Structure 1
């Protein structure tokens, strides 16, 4: 068979299935289970091996948003979208009713579900918005956060049902009907062709692991990622190749993160032991309230919900903050993230291991710190001086930072690290409808193609705790059930 240089050889033999699911995080597992339980023959194709499968679901908190009132949940979702990023009402209704059923569905997999104490007590992240009273807290397997518990339950459910799961099988492209444009199956990177008689579900995760896509759509350069680097926009590209429209491409969740410069994975920088820290940009100037109350990616600043953080920054602190306790939590504090769960890294109690490794720069004076970071010395010194004056006065007139967080930077040596910021996940991808069907640029349905999870998140802007897992389950299940009942 002739092939272009660099292309994959396609096998002449075509394998047949009813539904092919690409990816096996929360959305992919939910789609596969729903399609199987609806009577379909399902094949799950997972890009990575068994030891890394599951994408961000594997290293997430594994908790989902719980509520008992679909009408109020719909109000809350509309408010989180804002006036300029509305969602189609059928999508809102599918989400608000579907998220109510998530806890019962997880319980149906044979595990106990319970509230997570801290996050239940914390309440909604955007209490000022209408509908936030619907927030019923975070539910987790056995009421316990993280440690990969949720993914273990999902993977076991796939295997218990005998669903065909193929690890280390990335998908290269979709196949389509030449006359109708309908999606008919997939071709793997190894050249295997699998016909999907009823549909293909894309559940490949976001594009945070692809620097080019991050640069193009988010305007960020060389940022570390919190989760799986296998989230490289595969589903996004495949959907675009068959004419998909896109939505939410500029939306993301970014955090203040710190990383080993030699690694693409980062760590949450939490600063729970001391608030003596400021953020400055490359000019050496503070640019934001560092501890403004924020949700999963957005904060209310100057009357608008904006991405927070949204650009590269230097995080500056002093010896008192350095010695107060670890900047980043280990698994016994917050059992989430790739470095913590997959690489087993335990942050040093005094941050000295990371300083000595060069992850954090050090200067005996602010002038020395400026020299090792490349920041303008005068501007850095002025920023620290202005901040310390605000601490002394108990009022941050420039950015409105809460007085309770105003801890001065007085004790040398001084420290700084660069935060890209760190990407937890992206939200944009192929536009879909309330049935999780992917839509073309002209608004019509691309028959046979579905998307769920962060490859095509529901959230056009702000989102609360546990929203992404809940969303993945809702539209994963919808995609699997709809595909299983579709006549190709």
Structure 2
């Protein structure tokens, strides 16, 4: 049971488990711990609940899940583990293999648990593993997304401010990948208007909004207490290798929490900390695409008590367009570079990658021996048909007039971008030559896979860049989430820099040294592993409590 008392000027609270953060990893940990009978306190820094998860599309990569099995798809944790091993960066297996195994063994268990203990429901998408040529890849069955869920499931628990999406969340993730909303927003809205009106009338949430709504409803039903607009400032320790709670501030008050079983750090990334971001990601960047409360508090607090940090140079990143969110500048992560007449060029005016490659963020962040980006600053270059084809991109260019650069000729555009004389002309002429024959001799873009197989409807292929005015927009790294933090073991327990376990301290999601870094293995390899690592932390806490109490508490 949660308890509190006044002790001097500081309020003292007691609970079994303290969760720092309220995104997918945090709520998954809370749900599992609460289902085992533990008292759980969730503390969220922002006034809004849900973190980056609530803003997301809800894509979730879960291998060997029960929905796939019911659909007749054969999969196994062993095949998923083989896929992770085959696609991982060189040298990662030594430190990450135990964590990969824990994830693949626990992911399906997590999904079944979440659907049993919350109103959240998932459905398969028709997407394949994008790295289809590697051993263990599947053509379908590992990608899921939430079904719509009524906001009213939270009404009986009180009023909660869920973090809104930067775009209206009327469409499900399944509809987004099925319909070409980017190019035909009005037509798709008209075609789906009965569903959209029904969702609006019933206050149905979709995507990440549905995910957080369902997880939060499950947590509250099991007795979790949620405190928002409260910043956790420091961890409470006993000796050098044990955490016994934390201290947070709210409305000018200092509250000390004693957590008898442990503290779970699930506070998100550090992309909102400009100094730390520059330290680990030097060079050009465009936007941050996550809540401005993601300032690395969890990483800082863990480091202060001697936790070992790792993967601080890993992140979920790509291109983005300028936007405004809650009245502030923001980057909207959309795949606007998947156009047939668009290419990416570096500061020398040279094309440097297949623009349709799945792990484009890893390409953008490629570094030299000094740790500086090889290809940045970068630009997306296209012609006038880019705007003709995409009303949403055209609207963005009109709304943020300093973002897009236009010129009547390629030479004039190159001058505005400060590219070497003649380089852009040569690059575009070479690309246009490839378009005539349908073969990209430099990067073989024509063979690119969209959702695991050739798809020319959305991802275009090859089309020459020839109709003025010519346009360019910055295309540097934009951050959805950094993925570095405290190193954990396969049970989610944080390691001290001397290699020993810090008792009572756990970490999950993108706050941890994430075992799947910048190089993703599917569209949902942020949310799927995050949910699973939160679940693993909650499961470890439940087992720890049961052991200490002679098996009285169990999940």
**Scaled by the length of structure 1, what TM-score is found?**
0.83
1:368 aligns with 2:412: yes
Q: 2:233 maps to which residue? A: 172
Which of 261, 285, 292 aligns to 2:350? It is 285
What CA distance in whole angstroms lies between the structure 2 residues aligned with 1:135 and 1:212?
Answer: 41
Asked if structure 2 preserves the Cα contact closer than 8 Å seen for 1:295 and 1:464, the reply is no
1:336-359 deviation line (CA, Å, top 9, x unaligned): xxxxxxxxxxx73xx65246x222
2:103 aligned counterpart, secondary structure: helix
RMSD: 2.9
Cα displacement (A) at 1:88: 4.4
Match of 1:270 among 319, 336, 339: 336
1:24–1:53 Cα contact (<8 Å) kept: yes
Cα contact 1:73–1:134 (8 A) shared by 2: no
Q: For the Cα contact (< 8 Å) 1:63–1:469, is it kept in 2? A: yes
Q: For structure 2, which runs of at least 5 residues remain unmatched after alignment?
A: 1-7, 65-75, 149-171, 174-206, 367-372, 448-459, 550-555
Residue pair 1:257, 1:419 contacting (<8 A) in 2 also: yes
In the alignment, is the contact (CA less than 8 A) between 1:126 and 1:295 conserved in 2?
no
Alignment partner of 1:42 out of 31, 40, 43 = 40
2:441 is the counterpart of 1:397: yes
Question: Which of 416, 420, 425 is the matching residue for 2:476?
Answer: 420
Distance in 2 (CA, whole Å) between partners of 1:310 and 1:98 is 38
Match of 2:247 in 1: 187
| Aligned residue number for residue 98 of structure 2 | 90
Distance (Å, rounded) in 1 between the aligned partners of 2:360 and 2:435: 28
Q: Does 1:131 align with 2:150?
A: no
Q: What residue in structure 1 maps to residue 398 of structure 2?
A: 353
2:126 is paired with a residue whose SS is helix
For the 8 Å contact 1:360–1:415, the answer to whether it is kept is yes
- Matches of 1:226 and 1:319, distance apart in 2: 27
The 8 Å contact of residues 111 and 141 in structure 1, kept in 2 or not, is answered as no
Following the alignment from structure 1 to structure 2, what is the Cα–Cα distance between the partners of residues 56 and 76? 27
Partner in structure 1 of residue 490 of structure 2: 434
Unaligned runs of at least 5 residues, structure 1 = 1-9, 303-307, 329-346
Tell me how far apart the structure 1 counterparts of residues 515 and 362 of structure 2 sit (CA, whole Å).
Answer: 16
Cα contact 1:295–1:465 (8 A) shared by 2: no
Q: In the alignment, is residue 142 of structure 1 matched against residue 147 of structure 2?
A: yes
* SS of alignment partner, residue 286 of structure 2: coil
Matched residues in 1 for 2:208 and 2:101: separation? 32
Conservation of the 8 A alpha-carbon contact between 2:120 and 2:210 = no
CA apart distance, 1:135 = 5.8
Note if 1:196 corresponds to 2:262: no
CA distance in 1, matches of 2:359, 2:379: 22
CA distance in 1, matches of 2:426, 2:90: 39
Alpha-carbon distance in structure 2 between the residues aligned to 1:185 and 1:315: 48
Q: Tell me the residue number matched to 2:55.
A: 59
Q: 2:120, 2:214 within 8 Å by CA — same for their partners in 1?
A: no
In the alignment, which residue of structure 2 is the partner of 1:315? Answer: 380
Distance in 2 separating the partners of 1:108 and 1:38: 14
* Count of residues in correspondence between the two structures: 445
For the residue of structure 2 that corresponds to 1:188, the secondary structure is strand
Give the drift of 1:310: 7.2
**How far is the alpha carbon of 1:421 from its aligned partner?**
2.0
1:438-458 CA distance string (max 9 Å, x none): 001121101110000111122
Inter-CA distance 472–315: structure 2 relative to 1 (3 Å threshold): same
User: 8 Å contact 1:211–1:222 — kept in the other structure?
Assistant: no
Aligned partner of residue 279 in structure 1, secondary structure: strand
Take 1:410 and 1:88, find their aligned partners in 2: how far apart are those partners? Answer: 47
TM-score by length of 2: 0.74
CA contact (8 A) 2:34 2:223 kept: no
Whole-Å Cα distance in 2 between the matches of residues 147 and 193 of structure 1?
A: 31
TM-superposed deviation, 1:298: 4.7
1:466 maps to which of 524, 528, 537? 524
Map of 1:216 onto structure 2: 279
SS class of match (2:138): helix
When residues 28 and 53 of structure 1 are mapped into structure 2, their CA distance, relative to the original with a 3 A threshold, is: same
Partner deviation per Cα, 1:344-391 (whole Å, 9 max, x = no partner): xxx73xx65246x22211112223323443334432222222222332
Q: Is the 8 A contact 1:255 1:309 kept in 2?
A: no
Q: Structure 2 CA distance, aligned partners of 1:12 and 1:102?
A: 38
Mapped to 2, the partners of 1:372 and 1:468 lie a distance apart of 37
Deviation at 1:277, TM superposition (A): 0.7
> Is the alpha carbon distance of 1:472 and 1:310 closer, same or farther for their aligned partners in structure 2, counting shifts above 3 Å?
farther
Partner of 1:100: 108
Deviation per CA, 1:283-307: give whole Å up to 9, x if none: 2222222123x1484579x9xxxxx
Q: Is the 8 A contact 1:437 1:447 kept in 2?
A: yes
Residue 82 (structure 2) aligns with: 75
Q: Which stretch shows the higher mean deviation, 40-49 or 371-380?
A: 371-380
> Runs ≥4 in structure 1, deviation > 6 angstroms?
none
